[in-house]
């Protein structure tokens, strides 16, 4: 079987793949994750994940590459990782008491054959109404930094969420059920 490479530095993606028993190595790649491109959000998520897969494939000539990108969308505004605490605070104020969509695009690429599959999975997340003090406390925790849309649903951010519709793991950064179904088409079966 070909080696599997996770082209991501995300500890959450690593943990999710470890939890399903997938054997893989990690080799993060640096690409432009800019969300300012004039592309529909689902297509953008797939495009960014594909760019990451292509970059990783250049370093791994005969492997199966997994790459992903996650961001939030609220009223047409794309919410990536906040660059500072002020931006995190603004994101959380925007999300307070409302619903938004989390999109993860993932790409699986066989670098030997060039065979590629890209998908985008969406999950609807509803936030409860947050007080200024709650937002400030959460931002001070440091957890919003480096997280799509400025929160981690698996951490303290779980206290902000009222409900979700869709794949919980997608909000963490990798829809493992959809990923496993596509990996099977590449000859990699997680459940044997």
**Active site positions, annotated:** 69
Rg over alpha carbons for the chain, rounded to the nearest Å, is 17
* Bridge partners (DSSP) listed for residue 118: 107
Q: Crossing angle, helix 132-140 and helix 85-95, to 10 degrees?
A: 140
Burial 111-145 (b: 16+ CB within 10 A, else e): beeeebbbbbbbbebebeebeeeebeebbeeebbb
């Amino acid at each position: 079987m070909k080696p599997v490479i996770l082209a991501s530095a995300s500890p959450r993606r690593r943990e999710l793949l470890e939890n399903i028993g997938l054997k893989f190595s990690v080799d993060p790649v640096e690409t432009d994750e800019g969300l300012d491109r004039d592309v529909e959000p689902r297509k953008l998520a797939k495009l960014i994940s594909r760019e990451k897969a292509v970059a990783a494939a250049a370093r791994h000539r005969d492997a199966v590459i997994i790459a992903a990108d996650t961001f939030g969308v609220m009223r047409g505004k794309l919410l990536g990782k906040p660059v500072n605490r002020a931006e995190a605070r603004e994101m959380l104020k925007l999300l307070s008491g409302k619903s938004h969509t989390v999109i993860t695009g993932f790409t699986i690429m066989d670098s030997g054959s060039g065979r590629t599959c890209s998908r985008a999975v969406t999950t609807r997340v509803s936030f409860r109404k947050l007080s200024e003090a709650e937002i400030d406390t959460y931002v001070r925790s440091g957890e919003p930094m480096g997280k799509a849309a400025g929160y981690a649903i698996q951490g303290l951010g779980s206290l902000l969420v009222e409900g979700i519709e869709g794949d919980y793991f997608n909000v963490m950064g990798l829809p493992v059920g959809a990923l496993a179904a596509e990996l099977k088409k590449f000859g990699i079966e997680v459940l044997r």
